[in-house]
Amino acid sequence: MPGIDENRPFIPLKIAVLTVSDSRDMANDRSGDTLVGRIENAGHVLADRAIVTDDVERIRAVVRRWIADPGVDVVITTGGTGFTGRDVTPEAVEPLFEKRMDGFSTVFHRLSYDKIGTSTIQSRATGGVAGATYIFVLPGSPGACRDAWDGILQAQLDYRHMPCNFVEIMPRLDEHLRRGAGEG
């Protein structure tokens, strides 16, 4: 049965939050606020927070900067996952993935289906790993951010969560980068 092993220590992660929106600022960014509140309540550290417009290069620049920053373990974006012409977050972020996390999208949609039914298909939520940094691309609604955090990320970003979690494999995420050029 999955759950928290109280014999293991909690390890706070450094998490950056990026809101992608043409109409939000820090004063009205409810989705970003939702994520920040949950990150801090869980005991993690907010490494950085930003808002950018729905522009592939602007989104990619921020995410690249955070991937390269050793002070960021996890990047969570919110917004721009729909199908309108301005929704470009997956297009901006997915090319940066070294490894795609198909299970994240699957579980997110399963949780979302229980709340909003078939409307979940209007989201292109995704996840992956790049530069030993976990990256999660969430829809721009506070409800979707709550569902993703409460139903997936809170447990997987907690070292105490058993039978396994993202934290315990973090030291090995960049093995392929450290491996010698002649090795397979």
For residues 130-148, b (16+ Cβ closer than 10 Å) or e, as one string? bbbbbbbbbbbbbebbbbb
| Contact call for residues 80 and 88 (beta carbons, < 8 A) | yes
> Which domains does the chain carry?
12-172 (3.40.980.10)
Q: What confidence tens digit (pLDDT) does each residue in 132-167 have?
A: 999 999 999 999 999 999 999 999 999 999 999 999
Q: What confidence tens digit (pLDDT) does each residue in 64-104 have?
A: 999 999 999 999 999 999 999 999 999 999 999 999 999 99
Residue found by looking up tokens 């392929």 in the block: 176
pLDDT of residue 177: 66
**For the CA atoms of 47, 51, 56, 58, what is the dihedral angle to 10 degrees?**
-80
pLDDT of residue 160: 97
Of 122-126, 132-136, 168-172, 176-180, minimum mean pLDDT range: 176-180
Neighbours of 20 (CB within 10 A): 30
- Cα 137 to Cα 80: distance, rounded to the nearest angstrom: 9
In whole numbers, what is the pLDDT of the chain averaged over residues?
94
Neighbours of 150 (CB within 10 A): 12
Asked if residue 179 has pLDDT above 70, the reply is no
Token pair of 129, please?
């790993």
Backbone angles phi, psi at 126, to 5 degrees: -155, 170
pLDDT of residue 183: 52
Asked if residue 62 has pLDDT above 60, the reply is yes
pLDDT of residue 34: 98
Asked if residue 35 has pLDDT above 80, the reply is yes
